[in-house]
Amino acid sequence: MRVRSDRLLFYALLPFGGIVVALFALLINVLVDNSIPILEREGLNFFTSPQWRPSETPGEEFYGILAPLYGTIYTSIIAVAIALPTSVSLAVFVTDLAPPRLRELFIGLVDVMAGLPTILYGIWGALVLAPFLKDRLMDPLHTYLGFVPLFSCQPVTGYTVFTAGLILALMVVPFMTAVIREAYSRIPDTYREAVYSLGATDYEAARTLVSMIRPAILAALLLGFGRAAGETIAVSLTVGNSASISACAFTPGYTIASLIANQFANAGLYRHMTSALYAAGLILLVIGLALNTAGLYMLARWRKTRVGR
C-alpha cells in the first residue's frame, strides 16, 4: 500500500500530467469542431480537388487541399530520399570509422543541428541555397537531363519543391541519424566479429550490419517523414507557395503547413477559409500521428529483438 505522504504527492502532481492530456484533447476538439463546416460543405472534394479559390462572394468560395497535400508528400519524399542514405552513412562513419575525438565532435554537431531554430534553416535556404541551387544544379540538370520527368521543367526561381525538399533533408538528417546510430552502435560485438571473421572488408562488414538493423532504419524513415511533413517555416520560405501539381521537382509548390502559415492572416476576410485551414491542420495532425505512431511502434518492437536490445 502507498503510505499517506506518497499518496499526497501523487495527487499533488497529478494535475500537471492532467494538463497535458487535457490540452491535447482540447486541441483535437478545436480542430475537429472547426473542420466540420468545410467538410460538410465540400465533402470528399475537399481532398480531391486541386483548386484553392477564395472569393468575396461566399457562394463562389471553394477550397481543395490536393495540391498542398501533394506538395507535402512530394517535398517529404525528396527529403527522406536524400536524408536516408546520408544518415546511414553518417551513422556508420561516426560509429565505425571516425577516431574517438572526431566522433564526439560529430555527435555534438549533429545534436546542435537538430536543435537549431528552424527559421535559421529558412533564411539560409531562401537567401543562399535557393539561388545557388538554381544556377549550379537545377539549370544544368534541366539542360542535360531534361528528359527525366523530375527535371523536366525550367526553374523560374530557386524557390521550388526541390529546394524545400533539400532544406527538409538537412533538417531531418540529425534526427534520423540519431535513431539509426543508436541502433547501429547497439549491434552486439559478436556479430561484428562474425562478419569480419568471414573475411569481410570494412565496407562489406558495414553493409551486412546495416542490413541487420533494417527495421530501425524503416522506423527512422517514418519518423523523419513525419517531421518533414509537419515542418513549416523553413519550407514556406523556400517552396515558392504556389498551388500546383507537377511531377517536376523544379516548380514552385505548396505544403499543408506552409499553406496554413501563409493564409491564416487573411482567412478572416472570407466566410469558409478559416474552416478550410482548420481541416488542413487536422489532416496534418492525422499524417503526423500516423507516421510517428508507426515509427515509434517499429522502434519499440525492434528494441525487443535480439539485436536491438
Partner 1 sequence: MSIASLRRYLSLASSISRLVKPSLGGNGYAASSTYALQTVGLNVYYGGRKILDNVNLAVPRNTVFAIMGPSGSGKSTLLRVFNRLVELAPNARVEGRVLLFGRNIYDPSVDPMEVRRQVGMVFQNPNPFPHLSIYDNVALGPRLNGLARNGEELDRLVEWALRKAALWDEVRDRLHEPATRLSGGQQQRLCIARAIALKPRVLLMDEPTANLDPESSRRIEQLIVELRDDVTVVVVTHSPGQAARISDHVAFLFSGRIVEVGPTREVFTRPRSELTERFITGALG
**Interface residue list for partner 1 (CB under 8 A):** 100, 188, 190-201, 204, 208, 211-212, 214, 305-307
Comparison of 122 and 308: residue with beta carbon closer to partner 1: 308
Question: CB of residue 213 vs partner 1: minimum separation in angstroms?
Answer: 8
Question: CB of residue 208 vs partner 1: minimum separation in angstroms?
Answer: 7
What are the grid coordinates assigned to 163, written together?
529546394
Q: Is residue 150 within 8 Å of 248, Cβ to Cβ?
A: yes
Residue 180's Cβ-count burial label (10 Å; 0-12, 13-18, 19+) is: buried
Q: What is the DSSP string of 18-74?
A: HHHHHHHHHHHHHHHHHHHHHHHHHTTHHHH---EE--SSGGG-EE--HHHHHHHHH
Q: Are strands 52-53 and 62-63 parallel, antiparallel or unpaired?
A: antiparallel
Residue 153's Cβ-count burial label (10 Å; 0-12, 13-18, 19+) is: middle
Comparison of 30 and 300: residue with beta carbon closer to partner 1: 300
Question: CB of residue 199 vs partner 1: minimum separation in angstroms?
Answer: 4
Comparison of 210 and 237: residue with beta carbon closer to partner 1: 210
3-state secondary structure of 253: strand
Question: CB of residue 194 vs partner 1: minimum separation in angstroms?
Answer: 5
d(CA 41, CA 236): 28
Comparison of 136 and 301: residue with beta carbon closer to partner 1: 301
Question: CB of residue 99 vs partner 1: minimum separation in angstroms?
Answer: 9
d(CA 213, CA 88): 11
d(CA 211, CA 78): 22
3-state secondary structure of 168: helix
Comparison of 36 and 307: residue with beta carbon closer to partner 1: 307
Question: CB of residue 204 vs partner 1: minimum separation in angstroms?
Answer: 5
Comparison of 60 and 189: residue with beta carbon closer to partner 1: 189
d(CA 36, CA 265): 21
Comparison of 140 and 188: residue with beta carbon closer to partner 1: 188
Comparison of 16 and 203: residue with beta carbon closer to partner 1: 203
Question: CB of residue 203 vs partner 1: minimum separation in angstroms?
Answer: 10
Helix axis angle, 273-303 to 256-267, nearest 10°: 150
Question: CB of residue 214 vs partner 1: minimum separation in angstroms?
Answer: 7
